[in-house]
Amino acid sequence: MNDSKRKLRRTKPVDNAWSLKIPQFKKEDNPHRLLEESSFATLFPKYREQYLKEYWPLVEKALEEYAITAQLDLIEGSMTVKTTRKTWDPYIIIKARDMIKLMSRSVPFEQAVKVLQDNMAADIIKISSLVRKKEKFVKRRQRLIGPNGCTLKSIELLTNCYVLVQGQTVAALGPYKGLQQVRRIVEDTMKNIHPIYNIKALMIKKELAKDPKLKNESWERFLPKFNSKNISKRKQPLKKKEKKPYTPFPPPQQESKLDKAMASGEYFLNEEQKRAKRKKEQDEKHKEATKRRQERRAQVFVPPEEKPVENNIIKTDIDIEEIKKKVEKGLKKHKS
């Protein structure tokens, strides 16, 4: 009997196993509730105090559905979420932690509350440690946002995520696949790879996914390739120095400015003579420059060389004899 059961289990179809939706976790799935209490706390900056104070009743109401308590401490500047004896979902405390983290990073409540859904997740990317110099960090962060926020908006549309660049972090909220794409774009941008390359790649992938013929093929030939032109000086091959023939004698001593002045006779001139000499040299330079300028301007008026005209004899296929005969016939008819 057991052998027949095993055979039946083996013959069951498992092709559509991945296409099945994950069922929602409900109260009936965990009737005994949680035995231990879990809690998470996070700090928030001073400028977020007024906003959090205003929206905190809505936060408590949203978490009350999942039997999670929330506390706002304005003295210490912290938010805390805790499980209770009525909490049935063991993972909802992680979701609540992500929610208060997002709100502390200036994400509005309307967006942060979406993280409590099963198909949504949050990711906070620290970008301050990816770039050393502050000037480069500011430029690359602005490159991620784009002019009037166009680049950030296109990233949001392609990844189906909400992305907020605030201070030294980037807060992202959306599906798991979209969060992976956002993290890759952000990290590449901070590594001096323009986000337009990744945006183009995502657009191409979105179009290729619609074609069933290309479903099982490699898409590398369609995607844009980025070649970094910034080559480090350390990686550049060192130029080989040519070995000079060995000589036991030291190189000749170079002449100093005084030696050169004495050799040219300038050393023995007084200040007026030196000034006159310098002026003469300058005048000669000016004359040469004006001469070159005049020659360059005169080139416009020089006529181009004309090609010799060849006496081409026009060849025609007209028969003169036939024309004469026609003229004679016409004259005869006119006389008659």
pLDDT greater than 50 at residue 319:
yes
pLDDT tens digit sequence for 295-316: 988 888 888 887 776 555 555 5
Say if pTM beats, i.e. exceeds, 0.85: no
pLDDT greater than 50 at residue 7:
no
pLDDT tens digit sequence for 157-187: 999 999 999 989 999 999 999 999 999 999 9
Q: Residue 64 and residue 81: Cα distance in Å, rounded?
A: 11
pLDDT greater than 80 at residue 294:
yes
> Under a CB-based contact definition with an 8 Å cutoff, are residues 88 and 33 in contact?
yes
From the centroid of its chain, how far is CA 296? Answer: 46
Q: Residue 151 and residue 158: Cα distance in Å, rounded?
A: 11
Taking the CA atoms of residue 281, residue 287, residue 291 and residue 297 in that order, the dihedral angle to the nearest 10 degrees is 120
Indicate left, alpha or beta for 44 from its phi (over 0: left) and psi (-120 to 50: alpha): beta
Q: Residue 2 and residue 7: Cα distance in Å, rounded?
A: 9
Higher pLDDT, 248 or 13: 248
> Under a CB-based contact definition with an 8 Å cutoff, are residues 150 and 141 in contact?
no
Residues near 248 by Cβ (< 8 Å), separated by ≥ 6?
none
Higher pLDDT, 307 or 261: 261
pLDDT tens digit sequence for 14-59: 444 434 577 777 878 888 888 888 999 999 999 999 999 999 999 9
pLDDT greater than 80 at residue 230:
no
Coil, helix or strand for 169? strand
pLDDT, residue 26, reads 80
> Under a CB-based contact definition with an 8 Å cutoff, are residues 92 and 118 in contact?
no
Higher pLDDT, 3 or 27: 27
Percent of the chain exceeding pLDDT 90 equals 43
Higher pLDDT, 69 or 331: 69
Residues near 283 by Cβ (< 8 Å), separated by ≥ 6?
none
